[in-house]
Amino acid sequence: MTITAKSDFSGLEKLKKQAKKNYVARIGILGKGDARPDGLSNATIGFKHEFGSVTENIPIRSFLRMPLITKSKEFDEVLKTNTAKKEVDKKGIKALVTLLGIKAEAIIQEAFASRGFNTWAKNAPYTIAKKGSDSPLIDTGELRKTITSEVVSR
Protein backbone atom coordinates (compact mmCIF):
# COMPACT_ATOMS: atom_id res chain seq x y z
CA MET A 1 0.00 0.00 0.00
CA THR A 2 1.36 3.42 -1.02
CA ILE A 3 0.27 6.65 0.61
CA THR A 4 0.80 9.85 -1.34
CA ALA A 5 0.66 13.24 0.32
CA LYS A 6 0.35 16.41 -1.68
CA SER A 7 1.00 19.86 -0.22
CA ASP A 8 0.42 23.29 -1.64
CA PHE A 9 2.92 25.82 -0.26
CA SER A 10 2.19 28.53 -2.84
CA GLY A 11 0.57 30.74 -0.19
CA LEU A 12 3.61 30.47 2.03
CA GLU A 13 5.92 31.32 -0.84
CA LYS A 14 3.79 34.34 -1.72
CA LEU A 15 3.91 35.49 1.91
CA LYS A 16 7.70 35.10 2.02
CA LYS A 17 8.08 37.24 -1.11
CA GLN A 18 5.83 39.96 0.30
CA ALA A 19 7.63 39.97 3.65
CA LYS A 20 10.84 40.84 1.80
CA LYS A 21 9.20 44.01 0.47
CA ASN A 22 9.49 45.51 3.96
CA TYR A 23 6.36 47.66 4.17
CA VAL A 24 6.03 50.38 6.75
CA ALA A 25 3.05 52.50 7.83
CA ARG A 26 3.66 56.23 7.97
CA ILE A 27 1.34 57.90 10.48
CA GLY A 28 0.80 61.57 11.17
CA ILE A 29 0.33 64.77 9.21
CA LEU A 30 1.34 63.55 5.77
CA GLY A 31 0.72 66.73 3.82
CA LYS A 32 -2.75 66.02 2.53
CA GLY A 33 -5.11 68.78 3.61
CA ASP A 34 -2.33 70.54 5.51
CA ALA A 35 -3.27 74.10 4.55
CA ARG A 36 -5.34 76.02 7.08
CA PRO A 37 -7.53 79.10 6.76
CA ASP A 38 -5.24 81.00 9.17
CA GLY A 39 -2.20 80.56 6.89
CA LEU A 40 -0.32 78.21 9.21
CA SER A 41 0.28 74.59 8.35
CA ASN A 42 -0.97 71.73 10.47
CA ALA A 43 2.54 70.28 10.34
CA THR A 44 3.94 73.43 11.98
CA ILE A 45 1.23 73.51 14.64
CA GLY A 46 1.58 69.77 15.21
CA PHE A 47 5.35 70.06 15.63
CA LYS A 48 4.94 72.81 18.24
CA HIS A 49 2.53 70.70 20.27
CA GLU A 50 4.34 67.38 19.84
CA PHE A 51 7.64 68.82 21.07
CA GLY A 52 6.55 72.02 22.84
CA SER A 53 7.77 75.55 22.25
CA VAL A 54 9.51 77.41 25.05
CA THR A 55 9.42 80.72 23.16
CA GLU A 56 5.65 80.47 22.61
CA ASN A 57 4.91 79.01 26.05
CA ILE A 58 3.45 75.83 24.55
CA PRO A 59 3.91 72.72 26.72
CA ILE A 60 4.66 69.33 25.19
CA ARG A 61 1.40 67.60 24.29
CA SER A 62 2.43 64.54 22.34
CA PHE A 63 -0.47 63.51 20.14
CA LEU A 64 1.57 61.11 18.00
CA ARG A 65 4.34 59.42 19.99
CA MET A 66 2.72 59.21 23.42
CA PRO A 67 -0.60 57.67 22.33
CA LEU A 68 1.09 55.05 20.17
CA ILE A 69 3.53 54.11 22.93
CA THR A 70 0.82 54.13 25.60
CA LYS A 71 -1.49 51.89 23.58
CA SER A 72 1.18 49.76 21.88
CA LYS A 73 -0.33 46.52 23.20
CA GLU A 74 -3.43 47.21 21.11
CA PHE A 75 -1.37 46.53 17.99
CA ASP A 76 -0.80 42.99 19.23
CA GLU A 77 -4.57 42.60 19.54
CA VAL A 78 -5.02 43.64 15.90
CA LEU A 79 -2.50 41.02 14.83
CA LYS A 80 -4.44 38.31 16.66
CA THR A 81 -7.80 39.05 15.01
CA ASN A 82 -9.41 36.95 12.32
CA THR A 83 -9.73 40.08 10.20
CA ALA A 84 -5.95 40.47 10.17
CA LYS A 85 -5.46 36.83 9.26
CA LYS A 86 -8.04 37.03 6.46
CA GLU A 87 -6.49 40.22 5.07
CA VAL A 88 -3.06 38.62 4.94
CA ASP A 89 -4.48 35.51 3.27
CA LYS A 90 -6.39 37.58 0.68
CA LYS A 91 -4.16 40.59 0.07
CA GLY A 92 -0.80 39.92 1.73
CA ILE A 93 1.45 41.69 4.20
CA LYS A 94 0.70 45.17 2.88
CA ALA A 95 -2.94 44.74 3.93
CA LEU A 96 -1.83 43.86 7.46
CA VAL A 97 0.39 46.93 7.66
CA THR A 98 -2.57 48.98 6.42
CA LEU A 99 -4.71 47.62 9.28
CA LEU A 100 -2.00 48.62 11.77
CA GLY A 101 -1.90 52.12 10.29
CA ILE A 102 -5.68 52.44 10.64
CA LYS A 103 -5.41 51.26 14.25
CA ALA A 104 -2.74 53.91 14.89
CA GLU A 105 -5.05 56.60 13.49
CA ALA A 106 -7.83 55.43 15.84
CA ILE A 107 -5.51 55.52 18.86
CA ILE A 108 -4.43 59.08 18.01
CA GLN A 109 -8.06 60.16 17.63
CA GLU A 110 -8.79 58.59 21.01
CA ALA A 111 -5.99 60.71 22.49
CA PHE A 112 -7.57 63.87 21.07
CA ALA A 113 -10.96 62.88 22.52
CA SER A 114 -9.53 62.11 25.98
CA ARG A 115 -7.09 65.02 26.32
CA GLY A 116 -4.16 62.73 25.80
CA PHE A 117 -5.62 60.05 28.06
CA ASN A 118 -5.84 62.85 30.65
CA THR A 119 -2.12 63.62 30.48
CA TRP A 120 -1.99 66.80 28.39
CA ALA A 121 -1.32 70.03 30.23
CA LYS A 122 -4.38 72.18 30.65
CA ASN A 123 -4.76 75.29 28.57
CA ALA A 124 -3.69 78.54 30.15
CA PRO A 125 -6.56 80.88 31.16
CA TYR A 126 -5.68 83.33 28.35
CA THR A 127 -5.80 80.47 25.81
CA ILE A 128 -9.20 79.37 27.10
CA ALA A 129 -10.50 82.95 26.83
CA LYS A 130 -9.04 83.35 23.32
CA LYS A 131 -10.49 80.16 21.84
CA GLY A 132 -13.55 79.77 24.05
CA SER A 133 -12.68 76.23 25.11
CA ASP A 134 -10.47 74.46 27.60
CA SER A 135 -9.79 71.50 25.28
CA PRO A 136 -6.05 71.25 24.56
CA LEU A 137 -5.11 70.79 20.90
CA ILE A 138 -8.65 71.29 19.69
CA ASP A 139 -9.52 74.71 18.38
CA THR A 140 -10.72 74.47 14.79
CA GLY A 141 -10.31 70.68 14.52
CA GLU A 142 -8.02 71.14 11.49
CA LEU A 143 -5.00 69.47 13.11
CA ARG A 144 -7.01 66.47 14.23
CA LYS A 145 -8.54 66.00 10.76
CA THR A 146 -5.15 65.77 9.04
CA ILE A 147 -3.96 62.70 10.98
CA THR A 148 -3.77 59.84 8.52
CA SER A 149 -1.65 56.87 7.54
CA GLU A 150 -0.23 55.38 4.38
CA VAL A 151 1.73 52.22 3.63
CA VAL A 152 4.97 52.54 1.72
CA SER A 153 7.82 50.21 0.79
CA ARG A 154 11.10 50.91 2.51
Residue 5: inside a domain:
no
**pLDDT (average), residues 126-147:** 84
Percent of the chain scoring above 90 in pLDDT: 39
Residue 7: inside a domain:
no
Residue 3: inside a domain:
no
Residue 51: inside a domain:
yes
42 burial via Cβ count (<10 Å: 0-12, 13-18, 19+): buried
How many domains in the chain? 1
pLDDT at 20: 67
Question: Picking from 8-22, 51-65, 132-146, which range would have the lowest pLDDT averaged per residue?
Answer: 8-22
Question: Picking from 15-29, 46-60, 75-89, 124-138, which range would have the lowest pLDDT averaged per residue?
Answer: 15-29
Does the pLDDT value for residue 7 go beyond 60? no
Separation between Cα atoms, residue 118 and residue 3, nearest integer Å: 64
Does the pLDDT value for residue 15 go beyond 60? no
Residue 4: inside a domain:
no
Residue 135: inside a domain:
yes
pLDDT at 137: 81
> How many degrees, rounded to 5, is the angle at CA 12 between CA 6 and CA 15?
160
Quote the mean pLDDT of the chain. Answer: 84
State the pTM of this model: 0.80
152 contact partners, CB below 8 Å, separation of at least 6:
23, 24, 26
Residue 62: inside a domain:
yes
Domain that holds residue 125: 12-153
Residue 19: inside a domain:
yes
